[in-house]
Structures are given as C-alpha cells and as structure tokens.
Amino acid sequence: MKLFLLLYGLSVGAFAAFMFPEKTKTESIEAGAEIYQDFCVQCHLPTGVGVSGVFPPLKDSDFLRNNIDMSIAGLKYGLKGKIVVNDEEYNGIMASQGLDNEEIADVMNYILNSWGNSYTGQITTEQVELISETILPTE
Amino acid sequence: MKQFLTALSLALFTTVGCAQDNPPFIETPETLSYSYEIVAEGIDIPWGLAFITPEDFLVTEKSGTLYRVVKGIKTAVEGLPPVYSRGQGGLLDIALHPEFNKNSVIYMTLSADVEEDGLGGNTALYSAKLVDTRLEDLKLLYKATPNTKKGQHWGSRIVFDQEGHLFFSIGDRGNRDENPQDINRDGGKIYRLTLDGSIPQDNPHVGIDGAKTAVYSYGHRNPQALVMHPETGVLWETEHGPRGGDEINIIQKGKNYGWPTITYGINYSGTPITDKKQMEGMEQPFYYWVPSIGPSGMAFSTSGVYPDWKGNLFAGSLAFQYLERLVIENNKVVKREKVLDQIGRVRNVVQGPDGFLYVGVEGKGILKIIPNS
C-alpha cells in the first residue's frame, strides 16, 4: 500500500511536471532577459540603474531585496505611490505590463541575477500565481 | 571666489547644456507666468483627451477605462471593445468626429487581439456612437496585423484634416527590421482613412499589389503625437526615437521618414543602430531631441489666452516630466523652455475649445494651465 501511494504520488508529480514544466533557473533567466528588453529596459535601463528620483534602480536595490513578493505583485497588478529605494523616494506609477505568471517569474529571475544582483532561490510560476494584490500598499 | 565659480559653472551648465546636446538647449524660466488647476483627477495614465465642451470631455486611461468628465465628475463609459493591455499598449487615443455635434461619433485607437492572427495583439481603430456614458454602434475600422506579444511601440494618436480624412499612427511594434520600411506590412506608419473607415483612392500606395493601402507615410518608430498645423494645415508628428533620436516631423503623403535606416539615435545600451543620419529618398526631421525627452502629445497654442505663447508648439515630456514650449521662427526651433517643471510624466497636451492648454499628467489627471492676470 505504501509503495502504491509512493508510486501514485510520483506519477501525479511527474504528470504535473509534464503538463506544467518549470524551467531550470538558467532557462528562466534567459527567457527573462528577453522580457526585460521588451518591457522594462526603457525605464530601468539596460544596466538596471534606473533614473534617480524617477525610475527606481533594480541593480543593488534594497527595496527589491527586501520586498520580493511585493515586487512580484507590482509586476502582476501595477505599482504606484511612494516607495523608498536606497534612501531615495520614488512616487511614480508602474502600470501592469500584462505579462503572464511565467513571464513574471522569468523576468524576476533575470533581474535578481543580473548586474551583480544574486538570488539563491528561483522564482517559480506557481509562486507568482499565489501572490495577490492585497500585499500592495494601499493609498 | 569659490561660490562665484560654482555659480558660473552652474550658469554655464544650465544654459549651454552638454556638448552633444542638440540646440537650442532647454531653458528653465526664472519667473512663472502661469498657474494650473486640476480639472479631472485620479487618472493613472491619461492618454487621450477630447473635448465636447470645456466642461465636458473624454479621457482614456491606458489600462482600459474611458472616462466622460462633466464639471469635474468622472464616469466610466460602458460598451468599450476588449482592450489588450500589454507593455506600452492599452486604450490609447480618442477623438471626436468633426461633426460630433450632429452624429455623436467618436474614434478610438487601442491595443486589440480581435483577429485570429496569432498570439498577442496589434493596434486597432474603432468608431462608436457616444450616448451619455455608453458606446453604441461599435465598428472596427482598422486592425494592424500580425498580432505579436511584443510590448513596444503601438503609437497612437488620431487627427483630422479639413478634407474629410482621418489620420492615425501605429508604432513599429518592436520589429524595426521588418515593419517600418515595408509598405506591405503594418507598423511604423501614419495611416489615412476617410471618416467612415474606407481607403481614400488618392492614398499613395493605392493600386500597388500587396501594399497596405491605408498607409500615408512610413519609416516611423513610435509616433505618439499628431496635430494639424493651424496655419499651414499640414500634419505634424512627434515620435519616440531610440536614445537621442526623438523627432518632430512634418508629414507628407507617401514619404519615408527613415527609421531604422537613418536616425540620430543609438540603442538604449549605447551601441549604434546605423552610421547614417541622412539618405537620399528619406526625410529629415524638422527637429530632433538630444537628449531624448520622450515626447507624447503635441499642441499649438493659437488662442491668445497666453499672449507670450501665441503660435508656440507644446510637447509633453515623459522622460523629464515637464511640458516643453518650443518657439519656432523661420521654420526653425529657436527656443525651448520648461513649463510645469517636475509635474510628473506628461502624456498629452491639447488646446481646448476655450483656448486653454490642457495637460494629461500620469498619476495626477488633467491639468488646465491658467495665465497670470
């Protein structure tokens, strides 16, 4: 019986992995690089430094490091209002870019592992899926 | 002495600008001859603005809401087509039919995935009848193809001439190598239609096999302002270039504006796009901005409401968060000045039917510029 359950569990897991394959971290970062070039680069710039006081930096950003879930929510739903990044205040609007959950995971993995940023884990599609709008700051 | 030197270098810096900047350099006036009031508030990205009367106007919010604002109270209009909100796309411009008072017809450009031509979306032009705060009789007049999941460069603005034509713009859709220079493909174009959406028979590519016959001019990157010159009746345009390549163009039928074969700009990363700034058979910009201001929206002030600004051109700056005033003399930009400095990302500017300038500012809404008396 135990063996059956184990096999059952394994096969369900394998089926799920087959149906919803998660990229490896390297694949995800690679896909994220393309999303970044299409959707992010105009404001946050190719080196992730942003524009002081206007578009917050993604490179070496304390806000991003300390608020990964909120950053994901910002990508999903848009982010507006006052935030403080590396002791500088930003009060702009980032509109939702209309990316799907997988694209958000990919671009997060790219950002979290570029320009000297490093993140030991991997943002997964499922993790993005579970994040709701409620964690965003309310005005 | 040190203070003097600091003051001197500051003065030099602010008036001369950086060596590679394109003159005339932007100026910040010492005293302001105006103030402003907010006439519609709480709109994140106010893209399009069309006046029915000075106190009754339509505003598009990029994520997909159309507001009718009456005496400062805004109501969401119902009956919009589905908006494909992705990247720089969404609900874009809005314009009233030249005989709106008789027929209640409005036009809108927006990002749509209505056609079964692949994943993603492309820019579409719709018309509809506005009944109070409801759209009826919705018609799809034009839909660019193919769809793409690219987030960039949808355009778009709508404008009319006096001869029964509608012009609208679509950007290169993030495919600069294929779209802007090919008249058989959509994207990177200014289009011209009649008011019912049909193709004017004197459009430049009518009769050419395979050509997109709605095309009026091509070789554009991302045009986000169109306006008719109040005196010459000629179409003026601004477009987002790459880094250092934002342009003002005077649009002529059938002409090629060069993107990406010629440009004054470079890639965002700093690498070159082309070594060519001009070429036979391609139009030069009327003016190009270095550094790029991120131009969106454009209006001529003709009313005399602002005596010192009569005849000047105004352009929104998304990048530097001000409204730019351009003085044009003898077919040349001779002065550039900041208006509403640090106001926020300026998405649009329109001269209202009362002659005042109305400015769409991201996160703020619609601002009315009031001259000091």
Residue ranges per domain, chain A?
23-133
Contact B134, B160 (CB under 8 A): no
User: pLDDT at residue B13 above 50?
Assistant: no
> Touching check for B151 and chain A: CB below 8 Å?
yes
CATH of domain A23-133: 1.10.760.10
Q: Are A97 and B87 a contacting pair at CB < 8 A?
A: yes
Write down the pLDDT at residue B116: 75
Return the amino acid letter for B304: G
> Touching check for B87 and chain A: CB below 8 Å?
yes
Quick: pLDDT tens for B282-321: 999 999 999 999 999 999 999 999 999 999 999 999 999 9
Angle between helices A101-112 and A68-77 (to 10 degrees): 140
- How confident is residue B29, by pLDDT bands cut at 50, 70 and 90? very high
Torsional class of B342: left (φ above 0), alpha (ψ -120 to 50), beta (otherwise): left
Nearest chain B residue (CA) to A55: B319
Quick: pLDDT tens for B68-93: 999 999 999 999 999 999 999 999 99
Contact B136, B79 (CB under 8 A): yes
B97 has catalytic annotation:
no
> Touching check for B268 and chain A: CB below 8 Å?
yes
> Touching check for B90 and chain A: CB below 8 Å?
yes
Topology annotation, domain B31-278: Neuraminidase (2.120.10)
For A10-53, the DSSP string reads: HHHHHHHHHHSPPPPHHHHHHHHHHHHHHHTHHHH-TTS--BTT
Nearest chain A residue (CA) to B270: A46
User: pLDDT at residue B5 above 70?
Assistant: no
Write down the pLDDT at residue B11: 46
Write down the pLDDT at residue A21: 67
Beta-bridged to residue A81, according to DSSP, are A92
User: Which of A36, A39, A42 is the best mutation test for B, with the most CBs of B within 10 A?
Assistant: A42
B313-317 and B322-329 beta bridge pairing? antiparallel
Write down the pLDDT at residue B15: 46
Q: Mean pLDDT, to the nearest integer, of B341-360?
A: 97
User: pLDDT at residue B134 above 70?
Assistant: yes
Quick: pLDDT tens for A84-129: 999 999 988 999 999 999 999 999 999 999 999 999 999 999 999 9
Looking at per-residue pLDDT, the higher value among A87 and B7 belongs to: A87
Contact A125, A20 (CB under 8 A): yes
Nearest to B174 among A38, A95, A98 (CB): A38
How many residue contacts between A and B have a Cβ separation below 8 Å?
A: 48
Question: Cβ contacts (< 8 Å) between B321 and chain A: which residues?
Answer: 54
User: pLDDT at residue B19 above 80?
Assistant: no
Domain spans in chain B, listed from the N-terminal domain onward: 31-278
Return the amino acid letter for A42: Q
Q: How far off is chain A from B24, nearest CA to CA, in Å?
A: 24
- How confident is residue B9, by pLDDT bands cut at 50, 70 and 90? very low
ipTM higher than the 0.90 cut: no
Q: Are A45 and B268 a contacting pair at CB < 8 A?
A: yes
